[in-house]
Structure 1
Amino acid sequence: MKLPSQHNKMAGNCEACVLKALKSRTKKLSLDNNALKTLSVSVGRLGFLETLSAKNNDLLSLPEEIANLRQLGYLNLGGNKLQSIPTCVCGLPKLRTLHLFRNCLTSFPNQLPSTLILLNLNHNNLTTISPSITQLTSLKQLSLANNALTQLPPEIGTLHSLEELHLNGNNLFTLPYELGKLRNLKKLMLQKNSIKALPISIGECRKLSTLDVSGNQLEIFPAELQLLSFREFHFENNPLLPYIPVPADQYQEVIPLKEVASRAIVTEIRKDSALLSAMVSYYPGVQDQLDKAGDCAVCGQPFVSLWLDCVHFELSKKVFQKLHTSSQGYLPMKAQLCSYKCFNSEGHKLFGIAEPPIF
């Protein structure tokens, strides 16, 4: 049932449409494009309603009677003037889809229905995401494009059902390591931010098939990116390291005793040394540091707190065989070495990363 879009009849038509819906017991009601400033409290009588759309109006609030729509699964309030998400929406027990795009929201709600599968908050004024996002355990699609976000909370990693995450057009500089916990993520849109580095944990998102990082501040990609099988990967308009090898002399450094000991401990623990594992477990801080140990890209030996950042260049089509992209050319992929001894060895195609001179 659709309400006619004559502005001069909006209030009367709204009430008439609600009464007609009440009589026919329709499960779908559209009140779109009518410059409505409020909804009739009579809407709360439509307890059988499953779909309600009131987009492109001038709504500033919703009547509390909306909470009576216990069967409502789809609610579209996009294109209004809401400054916060009404509390009456948060208690809807069957709500699965909620559109609130193009409103005036400035803060992420502290409470939302845990039944949500799709949440669209595009084109608002959000600056942060509340840690309460952890309650959205069923969420599969989260759209936060074109807001004013500067960071994501680590709690984003608790959304284990998430398949699509849209964050394009924000002010993000970094991404949390916990992003790698989104093991069901298939699509990640990050274009037009200010991101300088992707977390190495992105390699854990093994189902990720679409990634757009165009228009950021990326200079290099983590090697773990090669673990993924992309169908779409866009990386244009980033200040990527150019493929211009320059010869330079590198000398073997003296590795501090603390780093030598740490590497030896990691090596023994990886050999299933029960004694060392038990001893380290008494020191959580040490355990955390050792858990983050990396492996040298040349010799395969571990390093803990001292390493050498390097880069190797691969053609995008070679790295991602099934890739569909408008971006072409060499991809600078990060590699880490345990020492200059490995860097100076032969047989690898790794380059050191040098800062350009400033004139």
Structure 2
Amino acid sequence: MGNTIRALVAFIPADRCQNYVVRDLREMPLDKMVDLSGSQLRRFPVHVCSFRELVKLYLSNNHLNSLPLELGQLQNLQILALDFNNFKALPQVVCTLKQLCILYLGNNKLCDLPSELNLLQNLRTLWIEANCLTQLPDVVCELSLLKTLHAGSNALRLLPGQLRHLQELRTIWLSGNRLTDFPAVLLHMPFLEVIDVDRNSIHYFPSLAHLSSLKLVIYDHNPCRNAPKVAKGVRRVGRWAEETPEPDPRKARRYALVREESQEPQAPAPPLPLPPTNS
């Protein structure tokens, strides 16, 4: 589990400033990790920046909306978790941490990412899910070593064509967006291993059988009338997933017809005829 340090933060209001006290955080932890998740932080404790050899810093589930410039002193940082905070913009100082491999930015209020993010050329994993993104920032396509991209639960309708240049990308999570068509750029990324487009509005899936590295495709909760065709051995999660390589179109049409009929109001049954009476 490691030597996880948790801080108790107290806020002492004053006329012009707000002081806070961080306890149990006086020396560099042996595992080079500081975990301040869920500490009700509203300001980042600058004292942490004195731990120059820090490798992992977890600030998840706080109330942060800014970071001090002193954070740039942590040039050995490889993992930074800023998810579940109140960031409306990514602090520029984050883009100076050039050793970052994993960056968690999910569940904030980000509408874009700064162009300076392309300085993080060691980044392998980027989590930007559950923000306010209406398009995937172009700068993401400049992160040449990116392997995993979590961009679900935004408002994405399209993906940029430049995404195909991320030849190290293996996993892309796009669930809970506003895609109405399967992103065409993904058809030109044969190195992808996992594609998740669950909970979108995709009506038709093209064949994915040519994606030679594909291992898993998740397409459930879409109003589709076909399943994506995949190569042998690829796992599918969604309607008709048990059929290989794809459902019989007649079955798909019959399924849709039955579904539509089941939603139509049923006419009342005619009354049964009365038995004849003996006069």
TM-score normalized with structure 2 length:
0.78
- CA gap of 1:66–1:6, structure 2 versus 1, over 3 A, is closer
Structure 1: how far apart are the matches of 2:68 and 2:226?
A: 51
Task: Say whether the 8 Å CA contact 2:171–2:195 is kept in structure 1.
Answer: yes
Determine which of 174, 197, 206 is the counterpart of 2:212: 206
SS in 2 for 1:29: strand
Query: What is the distance in 2 between the residues matched to 1:52 and 1:199?
Result: 42
Distance change (3 Å), C-alpha of 1:208 and 1:45: same
Per-residue deviation at 1:125?
Answer: 1.3
The one of 206, 210, 227 equivalent to 2:231 is 227
Q: Is 1:319 the equivalent of 2:235? A: no
Gaps of 5+ in 1: 237-314, 321-329, 334-348
Contact kept in structure 1, 2:92 and 2:114, CA below 8 Å? no
Q: Deviations over 1:250-286 (max 9, x none)?
A: xxxxxxxxxxxxxxxxxxxxxxxxxxxxxxxxxxxxx
Letter in 1 for 2:215: S
Post-superposition offset of 1:108:
3.5
- Contact 1:162 / 1:185 at 8 angstroms: preserved in 2? yes
In structure 1, C-alpha distance between the alignment counterparts of 2:9 and 2:64, rounded to whole Å: 16
**Are the counterparts in 2 of residues 137 and 160 from structure 1 also a CA contact under 8 Å?**
yes
Going from structure 1 to structure 2, the CA distance change for 1:89 and 1:60 (only over 3 Å counts) comes to: same
3-state SS, counterpart of residue 12 of structure 1: strand
Q: Provide the residue aligned with 1:12 in structure 2.
A: 21
* Alpha carbons of structure 1 residues 149 and 316: separation in structure 2 relative to 1, 3 Å: closer
Report the residue type matching 2:20 in the other structure: A
Q: Give me the whole-angstrom Cα distance separating, in 2, the residues matched to 1:41 and 1:81.
A: 18
Tell me the equivalent position of 1:35: 40
Between Structure 1 and Structure 2, the one with more helix by share is 1
Q: 1:95 aligns with which of 86, 94, 100?
A: 100
> 1:228 Cα deviation (Å)?
4.9
d(CA) in 2 for partners of 1:92 and 1:6? 25
- Taking the TM superposition and a 5 Å limit, the aligned residue runs for 1:105-254 are 105-112=110-117, 113-200=120-207, 202-221=208-227, 225-231=229-235, 233-236=236-239
- Aligned AA (1:319): T
Of stretches 108-117 and 47-56 in structure 1, the one that deviates more from structure 2 is 108-117
| CA distance in 2: counterparts of 1:316 and 1:44, whole angstroms | 50
Instruction: Give SS of 2:27's match.
Output: helix
Q: Secondary structure at the match of 2:209?
A: helix
- Distance, in Å, in 2 between the alignment partners of 1:85 and 1:159 is 22
- Report Cα offsets for 1:101-155 as digits up to 9, x if no partner: 1111112443321211111111111111122222111111110111111111111
After TM superposition, the structure 1 stretch with the greater mean CA deviation from structure 2, 49-58 or 112-121, is: 112-121
Distance, in Å, in 1 between the alignment partners of 2:102 and 2:230 is 34
What is the 5 A alignment of 1:59-98? 59-98=64-103
Provide the identity percentage: 25
Matched residue type, 1:101: G
Counterpart of 1:219, as a letter, is R
Determine if the alignment matches structure 1 residue 3 to structure 2 residue 6.
yes
SS in 2 for 1:148: coil
Q: Which runs of 4+ in 1 moved over 3 A?
A: 4-10, 315-318
TM-score (norm 1): 0.61
Task: Tell me if structure 2 keeps the 8 A contact 1:29–1:51.
Answer: yes
> Which amino acid in 2 is paired with 1:227?
A
SS at match of 2:115: coil
* CA distance in 2: counterparts of 1:215 and 1:25, whole angstroms: 46
Structure 2 gap ranges (5+): 13-18, 258-279
- Give the distance between the partners of 2:243 and 2:55, measured in 1 at CA: 49
